[in-house]
Amino acid sequence: MSKLRVLFFVNGSQESAAGIRAHSFAERLPATWIIHFQYRSRPKWKSIVSFVRSAISFSPDVIYVIDVAYTGVLAGYIARKIRPCKLIIDTGDVAYELAKSTGRYSPQQLFLIHWIEQLAVRNFDYIIVRGSYHKDWLEKQGIQPVAFIPDGIDTRQIALIDAQPIRSKLGLEDCLVVGLVGTMSWSEHHQMCYGWDILAAMQLLKDQPIKALLVGDGSGRSILEQQAQAWGIADRVLFTGQVPYAQLADYLAAMDVCVSTQSNDLVGQVRTTGKLPLYLAYGKYVIATDVGEARRVLPNVGYLLPYCGVRDDNHPARLAAHLRQLVTSDRLRTLDHARYHRARQIAKEHFDYQVLAQRVEKICQELVRS
């Protein structure tokens, strides 16, 4: 079959992670395919109507829903009833377990989230997940067919940048720079967000030439900044706030070590997270928790740390110990060239969108032929 009509229902804006994933696939699918996008707007429930209308007018062979949120899931379910077609669900999380873990939702909201997630995984023609453990977990429940297509990166867009100018500008010269990129959404229930462990580790490393670079924003940023002040390490931790994607390469270049912390529960185990492919594509030394896809791809290019539960209060000490070892042994310098190329090769083989889009193309063709 040479021509397909594919309609992406994106639970987010064009600039969101879901929107970027949709476009990254679409621009690599055959040029003969006719592809259309629908993005969620506010209020979210109104998008259900526009999504369904687009399916009626576009008459797709395949509806591809990115992320398990009620707008896209309900619209996909309704649209397929009205205009028969194949339905693909693409998810990177176990939505109900994630919502329950945050402690931010009422019992009624949790019931709705669980119902939507079950509607998604029980009423589809193919489900795509971004973690290999997620695939195994669903298949053990009798849910099939399931394909593993992780979060991706366009390795062609990765530019090599001289780190010295940005390090000088940020005051990060003559030290080991440990950092991360992420949204710092504070969990009141667990008293943590992205970066909490780096901050706690820095408190234990006051005698070492190490500084932290935390790129991103969110409700937890101000809390971490206050904590840094209270611990007397504010001059050793730089918060950049939200950084435009075009400038992200500069900040990644300034980092020597990137940290990827995932909880050791179902929520963390099913994930790849878009940051791991990003760090590897830039050839970074990654310290990750021994959870999810990091366990599969990180050996020989980074370091895995054991982690227990959702919040492991012993983790910052382990992180600090390894950072201290990197500084005192000069390990990064001796391994830098070989590790850098291995990391980039892993990004190309496992996470490049050109490779991932081929899997999406194959699934769409198989569905329409069936």
What pLDDT sits at residue 162? Answer: 87
SS3 state of residue 177: strand
Q: How far apart are CA 16 and CA 48, in angstroms?
A: 18
Whole-number Å distance between alpha carbons of 280 and 348: 9
Mean pLDDT for the stretch of residues 280-307: 92
Angle at the Cα of 110 from the Cα atoms of 105 and 115, rounded to 5 degrees: 155
Residue 1 has pLDDT above 60, yes or no: no
Distance CA 175, CA 142 (A): 51
Identify the pLDDT of residue 334. 56
Least confident residue range of 49-53, 208-212, 326-330: 326-330
**Can you give the pLDDT at residue 202?**
98
- For residue 149, name the pLDDT band (cuts at 50, 70, 90): very high
DSSP-derived secondary structure for 114-143: HHHHHHHHHS-SEEEES-HHHHHHHHHTT-
| Structure confidence at residue 157 (pLDDT) | 87
Q: Per-residue confidence at 333, pLDDT binned at 50, 70, 90? A: low
Note if the pTM is more than 0.85.
yes
Both tokens of 285, joined, read 């030394």
- Supply φ then ψ for residue 12, to 5 degrees: 165, -175
Q: Which of 124-128, 272-276, 357-361 has the lowest mean pLDDT?
A: 272-276
What pLDDT is stored for residue 365 in this prediction?
A: 96
Going by DSSP bridges, is the β-strand pair 285-289/210-215 parallel, antiparallel, or unpaired?
unpaired
For residues 17 and 183, give the distance between their C-alpha atoms in angstroms, rounded to a whole number: 12
pLDDT digits (tens, 9 = 90+) for 88-146: 999 999 998 988 888 889 999 999 999 999 999 889 999 999 999 999 999 999 999 99
pLDDT at 331: 64
Residue 272 pLDDT level (bands cut at 50, 70, 90): confident
pLDDT tens-digit profile of 312-326? 999 999 999 999 999
Cα 286 from Cα 259, distance rounded (Å)? 6
Percent share of the chain, pLDDT over 70: 98
pLDDT in the model for residue 186: 93
Domains of the chain: 5-152+353-369 (3.40.50.2000), 155-350 (3.40.50.2000)
Residue 245 has pLDDT above 90, yes or no: no
- Supply 260's token pair: 């990827």
How far from the centroid of its chain's Cα atoms is residue 330's Cα? Answer: 30
Q: Mean pLDDT across the chain, nearest whole number?
A: 93
pLDDT of 64 reads 98
User: Going by DSSP bridges, is the β-strand pair 176-181/210-215 parallel, antiparallel, or unpaired?
Assistant: parallel
CA distance 24 to 314: 39
Which of 57-66, 158-167, 352-361 is the least confident region?
158-167
State the average pLDDT over residues 41-70: 95
Structure tokens at 61: 């062979």
Strand locations in 196-314 (E): 210-215, 237-241, 257-260, 285-289, 302-305
Query: Mean pLDDT, to the nearest integer, of 44-65?
Result: 96
Determine the angle formed by the axes of helices 315-329 and 331-346, rounding to 10 degrees: 110
pLDDT at 147: 97
Residue 353 pLDDT: 97
Q: Is the pLDDT of residue 359 over 70?
A: yes
How large is the average pLDDT for residues 233-242? 96
